[in-house]
Amino acid sequence: MKTWRPIVATAVVAAAAWLAYAPILGAYFRHDDFWWLSVAAQWADGSLSLTRAPAGVAPLYSLLYSFLYHTWGLNPQPYFAVLLLCHVLDSCLVLALVWLLTRRLLAGFTAGLLFALLSCHHEAVTWPAGGPHVFALLSILLALIMWTLYRQGRAWCLPLAVACALAAAFTKDSGIAVVPLLLALDVCAFRGRRRWALATLALPLVALVAWRAVFPPIAEPQRPGSTSFHLGPHSVLNMITNPPQMLVPDLRFENYQQFLARLLPAGAVHAAIVGSQVGLWLLSALALWAVLRGTRPVKLGVLWCYAGYLPFIPFSYDYARAPRYLYIPSVGLALLAGVAAVAVSARVRSRLGRAAIMALFVAYLAGSFGFARLVCANRLEESRQRLAAMAAVQAHVPHPPPRAEIVLEGLPEYLHDVGQGLALRYGRPLHIRVGAVAAGPQVYRFSFDPAVPGQLVEFRPPVSP
């Protein structure tokens, strides 16, 4: 093979991943981003240890956030740039892994390109609070590449594979999916077992449990057994139907219903929801058939989709539908696309047939690219509104007194996080209420225009006694 081909293929994948989401570099923080930043401020001033995060196990991602906050503070661009760069690296590593497994550059290129632009990635790639999934996958892919090289005869790669697996688990606790993924890879891609080597895969799980025992979370937002995090019949449904949502989203999810209600008549919304259910179950049946009758690479692709989702099966119905949870499982879909590309090139003799299949794939990629840009544009608009609201408050109250209370009225729900952003900007705890009525000696009231989010229409300072 000519050496320029893999270089060009990698460059195309990297460029596609970057260009699809590059506009997000102009966005601002939102929602849980402010929570991460408030914790990072405590890490930076030493009042909170990196080992004692308020929730979960994410010391490596916490370390990254601490560094970014200490270096750039509330400047959002470095946060988004690092996240986007990591997505580019993930896409290139998907190309490398699939090429290594199939020994076909076409398979790797197809897989990397699909992964770079897959529409379900929008939440993880454009939201720093969802970034741990993107960074955990970086270590997972390196672990699987090292394991593949080890099984192909390079003994020195085994400790590197285990080290990368540990890094995945400690980037985000859901990165423990690396263990079933490594097992699936070994079963599907290699013959002959090396039990002593497979036993080393227990190290990430043991280390993660030990960490939680020694450094329990200060506060657990999703407590086991709560309404958002519990085992039940929904767990089976989530496991069966969630990975196929990479292709057919479950339109019963409230966010999708709100979107459909703005675009379609009431009757059409119900029909679309039913159609999504039919599609999900057909894809699930196809996945079962592929596990039973497919080739080893096909089995690995399908098993990856489900093994990557294992950490999320106890979540409640709504919480489990978050698209960021499909970031790690979607490598399996990319692998299936790579295998399909090789099969088409070998079995479809008709030029017209190949052209038609390629046109469909290109059309899907173009749609995904456009969707990514659309998501970025929406985030930019929300960021403008958020920044305008915070600037209006700070202009009228540049230095609020210690006992001041700030009330924000008229903001839509998605801008209620403005209160968190203001507290960070002021650099100290404040009594900030959004959409609430308050009475006190030092209440600053801000009324915003509901029709023009972020636009201030009235400011009322405290009433003099």
pLDDT digits (tens, 9 = 90+) for 218-274: 765 556 656 677 788 888 888 888 889 888 888 887 767 766 777 778 778 888 888
My answer on whether 19 and 88 are in the same domain is yes
Mean of the pLDDT values across residues 184-205?
A: 84
Same domain, 323 and 434: no
In the listed set 317, 347, 377, which residue is the last one of a domain according to the structure?
347
Kindly state the DSSP code that residue 461 receives in the 8-state scheme: P
Q: Is residue 30 part of a domain?
A: yes
Give the residue, 404 or 67, on which the prediction is more confident: 67
Is 104 domain-assigned?
A: yes
- CA-to-CA distance for 139 and 164, rounded, in angstroms? 5
> Rounded CA gap, 125 and 93, in Å?
16
- Span of 2-11, 120-129, 440-449 with lowest mean pLDDT: 440-449
The number of distinct structural domains making up the chain is 2
Nearest to 309 by CA among 228, 246, 361: 246
SS3 per residue for 206-217: HHHHHHHHHCCC
User: Does 372 map to a domain?
Assistant: no
What CA–CA distance (Å, rounded) separates 177 from 287? 19
Q: Are residues 92 and 192 in the same domain?
A: yes
* pLDDT range class, residue 309, cuts 50, 70, 90: very high
Q: Give this prediction's pTM.
A: 0.91
Residue at 252 is within a domain: no
pLDDT confidence bin for 155, thresholds 50/70/90: confident
Q: Are residues 181 and 128 in the same domain?
A: yes
Residues 67 and 144 in one domain: yes
Lowest mean pLDDT segment, chosen from 25-29, 79-83, 200-204, 403-407: 403-407
Are both 142 and 213 inside the same structural domain?
Answer: yes
Judge if 23 and 156 occupy the same domain.
Answer: yes
In this structure, which amino acid lies at residue 457? V
Reported as a single tens digit per residue, the pLDDT across 70-129 is 899 999 999 999 999 999 999 999 999 999 999 999 999 999 999 999 988 989 999 998
Looking at the structure, do residues 396 and 343 belong to the same domain, yes or no? no
Q: Specify whether 395 is located in the same domain as 333.
A: no
- 342 and 450 in a single domain? The answer is no
My answer on whether 136 and 195 are in the same domain is: yes
Residue 444 covered by a domain: yes
Is 70 among the domain residues? yes
| 268 found inside a domain | no
- The pLDDT, as a whole number, for residue 232 is 81
φ/ψ of 431, rounded to 5, equals -90, 100
Interval 312-343: pLDDT, tens: 888 887 778 888 999 999 999 999 999 998 88
Determine the residue type at 355: A
Question: Residue 411 belongs to what domain range?
Answer: 388-460
Residue 370 belongs to some domain of the structure: no
321/450 same-domain check: no
β-sheet with 431-434: strand ranges across: 431-434, 405-409, 443-448, 456-460
